[in-house]
């Protein structure tokens, strides 16, 4: 992404009822993920939501924790945070692809997830993307999850009108 390139950002989601989120973070590159967390928590708080934070060993464990929390916890949405920096082996490709694919599959099952797992070539790229005053990818992931929660609540409140109505 070019530094001066501008993108459209949706207005912040608005909620009438409380929202509780879980941030799942793999803090392998702690300085980077601390910035991602700062961006995510600022966005969540600005939307009037609350959050918990859970740490996992690595990016591959993030989707597992999200799936477990969706079944065992009481959360409206999830923010997945971490950083994967290319190394000398194909392990990078496996971690990037599998963590992203697993989060996408959970999303297709109806979970509201913002994916803020950075996949970068080097630490400089990671720091630029994680900086809350810069690209703020943590805040963007939280905003994505919040928008999905808003859509789920909107669509969940609508009736499909299937079947028939009794006149009784």
- For the question of residue 147 being annotated catalytic, the response is no
The token duo for 66 is 């999200």
The token duo for 122 is 């080097």
Reported in sequence order, the residue ranges of 45-141 that DSSP labels E, i.e. its strands, are 50-55, 77-85, 113-120
Closest CA to 37 of 142, 168, 120, 143: 142
Which entry of 91, 105, 121, 151 is annotated as an active-site residue?
91
Give the integer Cα–Cα distance in Å for 145 and 127: 22
In this structure, are residues 138 and 37 in contact, taking their beta carbons and an 8 Å threshold?
yes
DSSP at 39: H
Count CB-CB contacts under 10 A for residue 145: 33
Active-site residue set: 91
């Amino acid at each position: 992404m070019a530094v001066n390139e501008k993108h459209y950002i949706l207005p912040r989601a608005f909620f009438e009822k409380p929202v509780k989120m879980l941030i799942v973070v793999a803090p392998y590159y702690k300085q980077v993920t601390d910035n991602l967390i700062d961006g995510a928590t600022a966005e969540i708080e600005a939307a009037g939501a609350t959050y918990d934070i859970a740490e996992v060993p690595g990016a591959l464990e993030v989707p597992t924790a999200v799936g477990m929390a969706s079944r065992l916890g009481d959360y409206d949405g999830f923010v997945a945070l971490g950083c994967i920096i290319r190394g000398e082996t194909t392990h990078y490709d496996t971690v990037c692809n599998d963590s992203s694919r697993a989060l996408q599959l959970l999303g297709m099952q109806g979970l509201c997830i913002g994916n803020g797992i950075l996949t970068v070539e080097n630490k400089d790229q990671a720091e630029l993307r994680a900086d809350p005053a810069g690209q703020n990818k943590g805040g963007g992931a939280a905003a994505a999850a919040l928008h999905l929660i808003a859509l789920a609540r909107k669509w969940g409140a609508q009736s499909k009108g299937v079947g028939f109505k009794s006149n009784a």
